[in-house]
């Protein structure tokens, strides 16, 4: 029941009345012309149109990346004719694509009909793994072709087939599939690792266990930043094989533990355990069981570190509650949880002192820490 405020009005009734008024075409036409409301009306209209055309933005970006246009322009400015020849495309189509890319500020027009790399395009090239993620998103685009059928569970998402480990297949995973998802994870994890290490300190941690640590990107950066740190890497046998070359640069400081956290015990002896982009791949029961294993593997006062994109919860986040929420659903077992939801699961199994320190970029990762 909604209680009236001090003026005697019901706040929800007032809000509903206002929303019904805004939804009327006649009001929209009036607001677009009225001196006091037209700037708001035009701004909201532009925002709505950006939602409508968002798919075309994504496909423009995909075409730019697939044709390596940013790489070509990194070398030197070029004309649509030049880039059309390099891309096996007719010049009018290339001109259309370049104009769209310029509108998205990936490239910029110059006098004489040439195009050059813009600051946003250069920044895209500077983010490790971002181009591979954009190319990988072809799968998600196809999975969302019929979003209602997808949400009703009436489709067979391709994204799920790309990540077979989430279904507990373990050693049965095809080696080619292992290489594909391990490479994508490694390419995209450098930025994530940097964000984590700038958010929390590992000072005082002597031994760190990275569960489902993949090819060891996070551990390699942590070991470089903390010269006295020792590390253990636990992951599926075909996945952990990819970590040797990267972590071989730290002889005597890393131990490898092939295994499946669903079925095998975790190594003991570490005074901190990290779960990086792990929980959102799995259902609550699997997450709860894993957190219990982590709790049992840690000594008293041992530290837990969880890092992954998290839902905004009561304050929906435009990145994690859209892209990552749909992506994890497409995986077939995952779910994007809020920090509060993750901390509640941690408390269930006995963790204490839980915190959610602010990160600079929630679209890269959020962090939850706690103690046994």
Q: Which of 41-55, 164-178, 180-194 has the lowest mean pLDDT?
A: 164-178
Mean pLDDT in residue range 282-301:
95
pLDDT at 50: 78
Domains 54-126 and 139-371 share a fold: no
Give dist(CA 34, CA 56) in Å, integer. 32
* pLDDT at residue number 1: 45
pLDDT, tens digit (0-9, with 9 covering 90-100), for 120-148: 999 999 887 889 889 999 999 999 999 99
Tell me the domain boundaries of the chain: 11-52, 54-126, 139-371
What is the model's pLDDT at position 47?
A: 74
254-258: strand order across its sheet: 254-258, 230-235, 207-211, 272-276, 303-308, 366-371, 352-355
Contact 336, 324 (CB under 8 A): yes
Class of domain 54-126 (CATH, top level): mainly alpha
Does 172 score more than 60 pLDDT?
no
Q: Which residue has the tokens 């986040």?
A: 317
Q: CATH number for the 139-371 domain, one of 3.40.50.300, 3.30.420.40, 3.40.50.150, 2.130.10.10? A: 3.40.50.150
pLDDT digits (tens, 9 = 90+) for 242-281: 788 788 889 999 999 999 999 999 999 999 999 999 999 9
Burial call 142-172: b when 16+ CB within 10 Å, e when fewer: ebbeeeeebeeeebebebbebbbbbeeebee
- The angle formed by the CA atoms of residues 286, 351 and 365, to the nearest 5 degrees, is 65
| pLDDT at site 221 | 93
User: What is the pLDDT at residue 243?
Assistant: 80
- Kindly state the tokens that stand for 166: 């989430």
At residue 370, the pLDDT reads 97
Q: Give the helix, strand, coil percentages of the chain, each rounded to 5.
A: 55, 10, 35
The pLDDT value recorded for residue 54 is: 87
Check pLDDT > 50 for residue 177. no
Q: Is 0.75 topped by the overall pTM?
A: yes
- With tokens 């998402």, the residue in question is 157
Compute the mean pLDDT over every residue in the chain, rounded to the nearest whole number: 86
Using the predicted structure, report yes or no on whether residue 171 has a pLDDT greater than 50.
no
Is residue 178 over pLDDT 50? no
Question: What span, in angstroms and rounded, lies between the C-alpha atoms of 80 and 57?
Answer: 20
Residues sharing a CB contact under 8 Å with residue 313, sequence separation 6 or more, in sequence order: 338, 339, 340, 341
DSSP state of 64: H
């Amino acid at each position: 029941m909604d209680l009236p405020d001090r003026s005697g009005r019901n706040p929800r009734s007032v809000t509903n009345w206002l929303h019904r008024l805004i939804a009327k075409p006649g009001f929209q036409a009036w607001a677009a012309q009225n001196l006091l409301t037209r700037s708001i009306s035009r701004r909201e209209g532009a925002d709505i149109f950006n939602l409508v055309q968002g798919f075309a933005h994504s496909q423009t970006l995909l075409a730019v990346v697939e044709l390596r246009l940013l790489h070509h322009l990194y070398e030197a400015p070029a004309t649509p004719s030049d880039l059309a020849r390099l891309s096996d495309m007719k010049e009018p189509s290339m001109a259309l694509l370049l104009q769209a890319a310029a509108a998205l500020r990936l490239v910029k027009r110059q006098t004489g009909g040439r195009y050059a790399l813009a600051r946003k395009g250069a920044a895209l090239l500077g983010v490790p793994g971002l181009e591979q993620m954009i190319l990988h998103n072809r799968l998600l685009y196809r999975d969302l072709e019929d979003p209602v059928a997808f949400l009703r569970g009436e489709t067979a998402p391709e994204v799920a087939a790309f990540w077979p480990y989430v279904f507990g297949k373990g050693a049965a995973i095809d080696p080619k599939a292992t290489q594909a998802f391990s490479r994508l994870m490694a390419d995209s994890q450098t930025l994530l690792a940097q964000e984590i290490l700038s958010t929390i300190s590992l000072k005082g941690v002597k031994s760190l266990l990275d569960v489902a640590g993949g090819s060891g990107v996070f551990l390699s950066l942590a070991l470089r930043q903390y010269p006295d740190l020792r590390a253990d890497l636990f992951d599926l046998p075909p996945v952990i094989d990819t970590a040797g070359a990267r972590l071989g640069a730290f002889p005597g400081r890393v131990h490898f533990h092939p295994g499946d956290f669903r079925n095998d015990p975790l190594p003991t002896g570490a005074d901190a355990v990290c779960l990086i982009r792990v929980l959102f791949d799995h259902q609550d029961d699997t997450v709860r069981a894993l957190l219990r294993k982590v709790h049992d593997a840690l000594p008293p006062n041992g530290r837990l570190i969880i890092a992954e994109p998290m839902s905004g919860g009561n304050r929906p986040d435009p990145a994690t509650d859209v892209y990552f929420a749909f992506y994890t659903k497409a995986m077939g077992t995952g779910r994007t949880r809020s920090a509060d939801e993750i901390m509640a699961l941690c408390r269930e199994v006995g963790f204490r002192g839980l915190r959610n320190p602010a990160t600079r970029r929630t679209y890269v990762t959020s962090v939850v820490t706690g103690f046994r």
